[in-house]
Amino acid sequence: MTTAIAHVNIALVKYWGKADPRINAPAVGSLSLTLSNLWTRTTVNFRKSLKTDRFYLNNKQVAPHERDRLTNFMDEVRRRSAIDCFCEIHSINSFPTAAGLASSASGYAALATAAMHAAGRHLPPDELSSLARLGSGSAARSIHGGFAELPAGSRGQAAGAVQIADEHFWPLAVLVAITDGSPKTVSSRDAMAMTQRHSPYYTAWVDSSAQDLDTMRAAVLRRDFDAVGALAEHSALKMHGLMMSTRPELLFWNPGTVAVVREVIRIRQKGIGAYFTIDAGPQVKVLCRPHDRALVAEHLLALPEIRDLTMCAPGPSAQIVEEC
Ligand code: PMV
């Protein structure tokens, strides 16, 4: 029995679109920051007596469509290790599941880490990341602490993410504003496929991604807060513009999302360094410097649309926390 913890990450340059859906090869490269305080804790127990894999999330059996995805993932774990029996998996999320808070990122990173360890194979982080990618593209980045980059892939070819700086490299604060904790109605997977097929801007998105990635990597490595923040906002808005231009439209925002975005722009105009990013859901993540955290939190908590605010710092790599 092995237990691992992995943290969620926010993409500063977004991954959206697949070059090869069968292996989750991303069509564009992405760069992320792993967050403290938002994590998945997963225990894997392989047992000869089991006739099938069993999955529990927050103490409940997972829905059938999610079970199939998890079974495929565990089949891949069995292929890559010497183990040939089924297992029982218990996961706990420290935050609302499937609400655009990257639960699949921390979920598959924790599962890949715990499962390979329980199966007796100790993979180096790049290989573990490549395995986690098969569960969810963004999970490849949650294997690493701090800043991670997942390169674009192509048909039949994709790598794992690499760490470009660890969690101690640059103290930053990320405030995660929950505007609606209920599960989203369209998965990232389905939403990406729709966008690729139906947005007239998809090619422009792919064509501009390599430049965004190079600019972001350089800005992170020289700890240029305003350059990182401005490009993170741009990448998020470009991705949401792409979703909105899809037919039928993909609109993850709610009035609370807009209220937070407007407040961040307003306080920035008053001289407070804050930038937002949004994933495939209505929550907003606000990036600021640690000494501005309390002030930014005060402004956000004054908005009636905010349900909850979690303060995060750069988070650590996925790791084994218990084995017996
Ligand atoms: O890893 P997935 O399939 O859940 O897709 C993640 C997509 C975004 O969170 C919107 C962007 C990203 O790069 O994390």
Distance, in Å, from the CA atom of 131 to the CA atom of 125, rounded to the nearest integer, reads 10
pLDDT in tens, 77-95: 999 998 999 999 999 999 8
Counting Cα atoms < 13 Å in the Cβ hemisphere of 86 gives: 11
Q: Quote the ligand 1 centre to 245 CA distance (angstroms).
A: 18
* Contact between 100 and 279 (Cβ < 8 Å): yes
Q: What ranges make up the beta strands (E) of 133-209?
A: 147-150, 162-165, 173-178
CA distance 319 to 227: 31
Tokens in use for 196?
């690729």
Contact 237, 181 (CB under 8 A): no
Find the 239 Cα to ligand 1 centroid distance in Å: 11
Q: What is the pTM of this model?
A: 0.96
Mutate to test the pocket of ligand 1, among 14, 35, 69, 284 (most ligand atoms within 8 A of CB): 14
Rounded Cα distance, 301 and 18, in Å: 37
Q: For residue 171, give the amino acid letter.
A: P
Compute the mean pLDDT over every residue in the chain, rounded to the nearest whole number.
95
Task: State both tokens at 128.
Answer: 């573990």
**Closest CA relative to residue 260, chosen from 286, 235, 239:** 286
Q: How much is the average pLDDT of 111-123?
A: 96
In this predicted structure, the answer to whether residue 100 has a pLDDT above a threshold of 80 is no
188 CB near ligand 1 (under 6 Å): yes
Q: Residue 103's pLDDT is what? A: 84
Q: Which of 10-14, 181-185, 303-307 is predicted least confidently? A: 181-185
Name the percent of the chain lying above pLDDT 70. 99
Q: Are 236 and 244 in contact (CB under 8 A)?
A: no
Do strands 162-165 and 274-277 pair parallel, antiparallel, or not at all (unpaired)? unpaired
pLDDT attached to residue 64: 84
- What is the rounded (10 degree) CA torsion for 175, 279, 135, 64? 100
Query: Quick one: pLDDT at residue 99?
Result: 65
User: Which amino acid, one-letter code, is at 310?
Assistant: T
- The identity of residue 174, as a single letter, is V
| C-alpha of 195 from chain center | 19
DSSP state of 154: B
If pLDDT is split at 50, 70 and 90, which confidence band does 181 have?
confident
Q: Which atom of ligand 1 lies at the shortest distance from residue 100's CA? A: 9
pLDDT of residue 98: 62
What is the best residue among 12, 16, 206 to mutate for testing ligand 1's pocket, by most ligand atoms within 8 Å of CB? 16
Crossing angle, helix 103-118 and helix 125-135, to 10 degrees?
120
Share of residues in the chain with pLDDT > 90 (%): 93
Average of pLDDT values for 271-285? 96
Residues 300 and 179 sit within 8 Å (Cβ to Cβ) = no
- Write out the two tokens for 49: 């007596």
Identity of the amino acid at 86: F
**Is 143 in contact with 160 (CB distance < 8 Å)?**
yes
Q: How far is CA 251 from the centre of its chain?
A: 19
137 alpha carbon – ligand 1 mean position (Å): 7
Task: Say yes or no: CB of residue 27 within 6 Å of ligand 1.
Answer: no
Mean pLDDT for 64-72 is 90
Q: Given pLDDT bands bounded at 50, 70 and 90, which one contains residue 96?
A: confident
Tens of pLDDT, residues 119-166 = 999 999 999 999 999 999 999 999 999 999 999 999 999 999 999 999
Of ligand 1's listed atoms, the one at least distance from the Cα of 13 is 13
Give me the pLDDT at residue 170, please.
Answer: 98
β-pair partners for 322: 3
Q: Which residues make beta-bridge pairs with 319?
A: 5
Q: What is the dihedral of CA 245, 19, 150, 215, to 10 degrees?
A: -50
Calculate how far, in angstroms, residue 279's C-alpha sits from the geometric centre of ligand 1: 7
User: Looking at the predicted structure, is the pLDDT value of residue 106 above 70?
Assistant: yes
Query: Does the CB atom of residue 163 touch ligand 1 within 6 A?
Result: no
